[in-house]
A and B are shown apart, each in its own frame.
Chain A
Amino acid sequence: MLALITRRLMTAIPTLLVIILASFFLMRLAPGGPFDGERPLDPETRAALQKAYGLDQPLWEQAWLYLSRLVQGDFGPSLVYRDFTVSELIAQGLPISLTLGGLAIVLALMIGVTAGLFAAVRAGKTADQTIMMAATVATALPTFVTGPALALFFGLWLGLLPVSGTGEGLSWLVMPVVALALPVSGAIAKLTRAGLATVLKQDHIRTARARGLSETKILYKHGLRPALVPVASYLGPAAAGLLTGAVVVETVFGLPGLGRYFVQGALNRDYPLVLGVVTLYAALIILFNLFADLVYGWLDPRMREG
């Protein structure tokens, strides 16, 4: 187990480095810079600004400088939100994005596993087919459609939930989290259903039945755990999907999370901000994949070796 963790972390460092450098040079290839506003600056001010932020140095030099600062936890200053460092912006946005993503995955797991279990027990019946149909529809629900639709219905028409911003209480979380969780819950329901369908046919289940165990015990104690292995391996891609979904949800519901900073930053050529967010996203996804592997190992002891 420990070997798995260390090996994963060892591969994580070069992966992160590649992502950071790729985004770094991609950003710099872009025409236009952070100081090209609507009103052109006079050349002197421009040069001074470029110098102040080190943008007059050769590219490799800049990349090296960025990396060496990054190692010390310094993401640099934001070029567009002039009074903030990228670290401050991240500190502000990260909790919102993490709350959204975390709650969404918990909700998706709850809905998905329950629905999948329910369907598998009634395999072949109308209930099974209805649930699987609903799951297929749910996976095809893009957050940029469900988000505005929810906002329109529950926010504008019924006036039950706030449409925008992080107002008081927790009610602002409901719609963004639901919009994010829906497609993931559909996929999880399908995977759980498929996993259980294969597991329940296996010998150890038949043995358990022959020994006279109750159906509930068979299902929860012997069936569910191996059946959830495919769900665990889906958690990594799901996390990546949730992060991208969060970009839309944060835009739709006007939440100051990381995703919004990312899109704004990319459009404004705010190099340090974009790099900081990409780095953080990459690190989060790698961490989550590691976590998914650990869950995987817990569910299926054979995996702990590899």
Chain B
Amino acid sequence: MAGSIPECGKGEAVLKPRFPLVVVLAIIVLALVLPFLLPWTYDQIDWDAVRAPAFSGAHIFGTDEIGRDRLARLAAGTRITLMVAIAAALVSLVVGIAWGATAGWIGGRVDEAMMRIVDGLYALPFMFIVILLMVVFGRSILLVFVGIGLVEWLTMARVVRGQVMALKQRPFILAAEAAGTPSRMIMLRHMLPNIAGVALAYLMLTVPQVVMVESFLSFLGLGVQEPLTSLGILVKEGADDMDMTPLGLALPGGLLVMLLVCLTIEGERLRDRFS
């Protein structure tokens, strides 16, 4: 593992073989393309090959305990997991920017009150409220990412607020204000382009977190529901059957960890570049 990590030269941010990025892209491409290439869908049962071992016949990674192709399920699961993650990260981006920018722009008491709320929410057992939400509103996939997005916006709000506070003092913003530009225009035209970079970096960092939360919920049976599948569900299925076929746990578990690690590394690199 360590051998493939690019060495970080002094002061050199440019790394030649962006290994983690390549892995993430490869996973995304495979998840998108594989379902079209495989002769099986993720929920199709091959009655002639139940519990087929890996590399036996046409099933590359074998089949699970009811004869569904592991590779097809992995691709489908990854696709759902990534979809939920991106959607939830976008929700957190929108809410975080709106909240943080408002607090930072208005400042004073409003800012203090809004940030107190963020501090307060940080300390809450939020996961439990999300679990309650899932139980209450019937675990629809839409709710999964709205729920997760609503939990993960806090850091974004803090970061955006800090950026807006700093920008507010900059001459070009003061000039725009002096020229009578309406606040909304200043926000959209002058502020947003300047916070976009940092926001993007934190968006990147939110994605693995959301992946983690989604898988956690799905693992407990509270997130994505059958017949849809996600990496969390696959890990759960694998864990239930691990004494028979360890591969069922190793494949989705390994893929999930790899995805999380590579996304985190890329996100941190992006963040370090912008701040």
Q: Chain A residues in contact with chain B, CB under 8 A?
A: 11, 15, 19, 22-23, 26-27, 29-31, 124, 129-130, 133, 136-137, 139-142, 144-145, 147-149, 151-152, 156, 236-237, 240, 243-244, 247-248, 251-252, 262-263, 266-267, 274, 277-278, 281-282, 285-286, 289
Residues on B with C-beta less than 8 A from A19 are: 124-125, 129
Q: List 28 A-B contacts (CB under 8 A).
A: A19-B125, A27-B132, A30-B135, A129-B5, A129-B8, A136-B265, A140-B257, A140-B261, A144-B219, A144-B236, A149-B249, A151-B242, A152-B243, A152-B246, A152-B249, A156-B243, A244-B125, A244-B128, A244-B216, A248-B219, A252-B239, A263-B131, A263-B220, A274-B132, A278-B125, A281-B125, A285-B124, A289-B123
Distance (Å) between the CB of B226 and the closest chain A CB? Answer: 16
Q: Are A236 and B220 in contact (CB under 8 A)?
A: no
* Alpha-carbon gap, A147 to B242, bound state (A): 12
Q: Are A145 and B123 in contact (CB under 8 A)?
A: no
Q: Which residue of A lies closest to B8 (CB)?
A: A129
Q: A240-B126, A252-B239, A266-B132 are in contact. List 15 more A-B contacts (CB 8 A).
A: A15-B120, A15-B123, A29-B136, A137-B1, A142-B260, A144-B215, A144-B236, A151-B242, A236-B123, A240-B125, A243-B127, A248-B220, A278-B129, A282-B125, A285-B124
The 0/1 profile, CB within 8 Å of A marked 1, for residues 226-249 of chain B is 000000100110110011001001
Distance (Å) between the CB of B239 and the closest chain A CB? Answer: 4
Residues on A with C-beta less than 8 A from B135 are: 30, 266-267
Residues on B with C-beta less than 8 A from A147 are: 239
Closest 5 CB pairs of A and B: A140-B260, A148-B239, A30-B136, A244-B127, A145-B253
- Tell me if B138 counts as interface (CB < 8 A to partner A): yes
Distance (Å) between the CB of B232 and the closest chain A CB? Answer: 7
* Alpha-carbon gap, A29 to B138, bound state (A): 11
Q: Are A140 and B125 in contact (CB under 8 A)?
A: no
Distance (Å) between the CB of B110 and the closest chain A CB? Answer: 19
Q: Which residue of A lies closest to B125 (CB)?
A: A281
Instruction: State the majority secondary structure of interface residues on B.
Output: helix
Residues on A with C-beta less than 8 A from B127 are: 240, 243-244, 247
- Tell me if B256 counts as interface (CB < 8 A to partner A): yes
Distance (Å) between the CB of A127 and the closest chain B CB? Answer: 11
Residues on A with C-beta less than 8 A from B1 are: 133, 137
* Alpha-carbon gap, A22 to B126, bound state (A): 12
* Alpha-carbon gap, A15 to B49, bound state (A): 55
Q: Are A144 and B125 in contact (CB under 8 A)?
A: no
Residues on A with C-beta less than 8 A from B264 are: 136, 139-140
Q: Which residue of B lies closest to A129 (CB)?
A: B8
CB within 8 Å: A-B pair count: 128
Contact of B253 among A22, A26, A148 (CB under 8 A): A148
- Tell me if B2 counts as interface (CB < 8 A to partner A): yes
Q: Which residue of B lies closest to A11 (CB)?
A: B120
Q: Which residue of A lies closest to B126 (CB)?
A: A240
Q: Chain B residues in contact with chain A, CB under 8 A?
A: 1-2, 5, 7-8, 10, 120, 122-129, 131-133, 135-138, 208, 212, 215-216, 219-220, 222, 232, 235-236, 238-239, 242-243, 246, 249-250, 253, 256-257, 260-261, 264-265, 268
Q: Are B243 and A142 in contact (CB under 8 A)?
A: no
Q: Are B246 and A27 in contact (CB under 8 A)?
A: no
Q: Are A23 and B132 in contact (CB under 8 A)?
A: yes
* Alpha-carbon gap, A191 to B155, bound state (A): 17
Distance (Å) between the CB of B248 and the closest chain A CB? Answer: 10
Residues on A with C-beta less than 8 A from B132 are: 23, 26-27, 266, 274, 278
* Alpha-carbon gap, A262 to B239, bound state (A): 21
Distance (Å) between the CB of B260 and the closest chain A CB? Answer: 4
Residues on B with C-beta less than 8 A from A285 are: 123-125
Contact of A142 among B2, B136, B257 (CB under 8 A): B257
Residues on B with C-beta less than 8 A from A15 are: 120, 123-124
Q: In the complex where A23-B132, A244-B216, A263-B220 touch, is A148 in contact with B260 (Cβ < 8 A)?
A: no
* Alpha-carbon gap, A56 to B253, bound state (A): 46
Identify the interface centre among B136, B236, B242: most chain A CB within 10 Å of its CB: B136
Residues on B with C-beta less than 8 A from A26 are: 129, 132-133, 136
* Alpha-carbon gap, A243 to B128, bound state (A): 10
Q: Are A142 and B242 in contact (CB under 8 A)?
A: no
Residues on A with C-beta less than 8 A from B246 are: 152
Residues on A with C-beta less than 8 A from B133 are: 26
* Alpha-carbon gap, A103 to B216, bound state (A): 22
